[in-house]
Amino acid sequence: MSYTRALRCRKCGQEYPVQPLNLCDFCLSPLEVSYDYKAMARVLSREKLAEGPLSMWRYRDMLPVEGKEVDIGTGFTPLVKADRLGEELGLDELYIKNDCLNPTYSFKDRPVSVAVTKAQEFGFDTIACASTGNLAASVAAHAAKANMKACVFVPSGVEPGKLVGIAIYNPILVTVDGSYDDVNRLCARLVERYNWGFININLRPYYAEGSKTLGYEVAEQLGWRAPDCVVAPAASGLSFTRIWQGLNELSMLGLIELVNTHMYLTQAAGSSPIVNAFEAGSLHVHPVEPDTIAKSIAIGNPADGYYALRVARQSGGGACAVTDEELIAGMKLLAQTEGIFAEAAGGVVIAGLKRLVASGVIKRNELTVAFITGAGPRTQDIVSDLVQPFAVQPSLESFEEVLGARV
């Protein structure tokens, strides 16, 4: 049994029974899961959590699920001490949370695992989503594991190479001929017509909760403490808010000290509505038309932008946008110092971190965790210019002639 109490409106506080629903009937604001933390605190301890499986499901008691989890082996990814990168940037205690190492190569496996578990509980036989890559792959993989149907919608402009990582799990793969906005509108209508569990619509309150495990894991891996600084990417802003929530829940449950973490969100300059609002001192996140190579975080109208903005402000953190050139440099720097090949969103995080340290916002002695949320190979074409091999004949002479003093 879980400690889920109800769904609650994040704006007006109106409560609803646990069901597939994402918007408040009154003010049309997003709903979130609320828990009985007192009861949860009575059963949870560091020792009990440490006895759990080495996956995100060790935190099952803190997630809104009742039935058997749909688990493809997600979570408890490495938290790597990044000494070489830290030296390069000017940080003594830098860690990388390497969430590339989830089964479908991105952090999306965390929220999707919770959402698909809930979809099964609610009796859906089909799960659906709209995505350009990472989310669709994760949904299709979890559907396969759960023996459910998956229907994934992809804008027709998405590169064919990306579709392979989705198609392998055999979902119903639909390319939609239109802009991202057209796909958004189509999906909003589909959810009204079909009795599907739509991952980021009617299952969104549960989907959101999976990302809290990023915060839980980092605190546990640091020896039950919160970092001084977190640097993470923001697309819809949802995972950024949930890392923060995860840390604060641990504190509320008495598992770590009071959280004094500064939360910094990073976006690509070509799609930075949250950063724009932060810099303008505005409370409203004004939608933009995305134009960046960091496709996995190119969201022009972020559903949780307002809440992500609030976390950055309340935590004494900040927001930082980087150019496409900077993010590519960030990808290379991470790979060439720590051996981690991140997708473009990871490059955004590293480039943003570099700026935050260079400008003195993050101090040398602050324990900082950079979240790398997706792996590079799915979008490797953006750094394909790196491939410049030395061509030699199969002889020592040729090798030494071509390589010369390089070896």
Partner 1 sequence: MAKRQVMFTFPQELIKEPIIYTLSHQFKVVTNIRRADISEDKGWVVLELEGEDEEIERGISWVIGKGVRVDPVTGDIVEG
Q: Which residues bind partner 1 (CB under 8 A)?
A: 11, 22-23, 26-30, 108, 129-135, 153, 155, 180-181, 183-185, 187-189, 192, 200-201, 204, 235-236, 284, 286-287, 295-305, 345, 374
- Cα distance between residue 127 and residue 129, in whole Å: 7
Triad 216, 219, 220: Cα angle to 5°: 85
- Cα distance between residue 109 and residue 115, in whole Å: 10
Closest approach of Cβ 353 to partner 1, in Å?
Answer: 20
Structure tokens at 289: 């038309």
Dihedral Cα 289, 293, 295, 300, nearest 10 deg: -20
Closest approach of Cβ 148 to partner 1, in Å?
Answer: 19
Closest approach of Cβ 204 to partner 1, in Å?
Answer: 8
Closest approach of Cβ 131 to partner 1, in Å?
Answer: 5
- Cα distance between residue 380 and residue 395, in whole Å: 32
Q: Which one, 180 or 244, has the nearer CB to partner 1?
A: 180
Closest approach of Cβ 122 to partner 1, in Å?
Answer: 18
Closest approach of Cβ 27 to partner 1, in Å?
Answer: 5
Closest approach of Cβ 90 to partner 1, in Å?
Answer: 30
Residue 289 CB neighbours (<10 A): 13
Q: Which one, 95 or 169, has the nearer CB to partner 1?
A: 169
- Cα distance between residue 208 and residue 4, in whole Å: 14
Q: Which one, 267 or 337, has the nearer CB to partner 1?
A: 267
CB 111 within 8 A of CB 207: yes
Q: Which one, 58 or 118, has the nearer CB to partner 1?
A: 118
Q: Which one, 262 or 378, has the nearer CB to partner 1?
A: 378
Residue 176 CB neighbours (<10 A): 18
Q: Which one, 58 or 295, has the nearer CB to partner 1?
A: 295
At a CB cut-off of 8 Å and minimum separation 6, what does 231 contact?
264, 266, 349, 352, 353, 356, 362, 368, 369, 370, 371
Q: Which one, 171 or 374, has the nearer CB to partner 1?
A: 374
Q: Which one, 29 or 126, has the nearer CB to partner 1?
A: 29
Closest approach of Cβ 302 to partner 1, in Å?
Answer: 6
Structure tokens at 20: 């597939």
- Cα distance between residue 74 and residue 102, in whole Å: 5
Closest approach of Cβ 281 to partner 1, in Å?
Answer: 13
* Closest-CA residue to 120 (of 55, 68, 195, 45): 68
H or E, element range at 335? helix 324-338
Q: Which one, 117 or 296, has the nearer CB to partner 1?
A: 296
Strand partners, 140: none
Dihedral Cα 276, 279, 282, 286, nearest 10 deg: 0
